[in-house]
Amino acid sequence: MPIETAVKSHHASLGFNKVTGALQFTVPHGTKLADALKALATIDLSAVAKLPRGCQPCLSGVPFHIHEEFDPVINVALGH
The CA distance from 33 to 35, in Å, is 5
Per-residue model confidence (pLDDT) at position 44: 73
Task: Identify the helix (H) or strand (E) that includes residue 41.
Answer: helix 33-42
CA 45 to centroid of chain Cα atoms: 13
Question: What is the distance, to the nearest Å, from the Cα of residue 15 to the centroid of all Cα atoms in its chain?
Answer: 5
Against a cut of 0.85, is the pTM above it? Answer: no
**pLDDT single digits (tens) 18-77:** 888 788 888 888 888 888 888 888 777 777 777 666 666 666 677 888 888 887 778 788
Spatial separation of the C-alpha atoms in residues 34 and 28, rounded to whole Å? 13
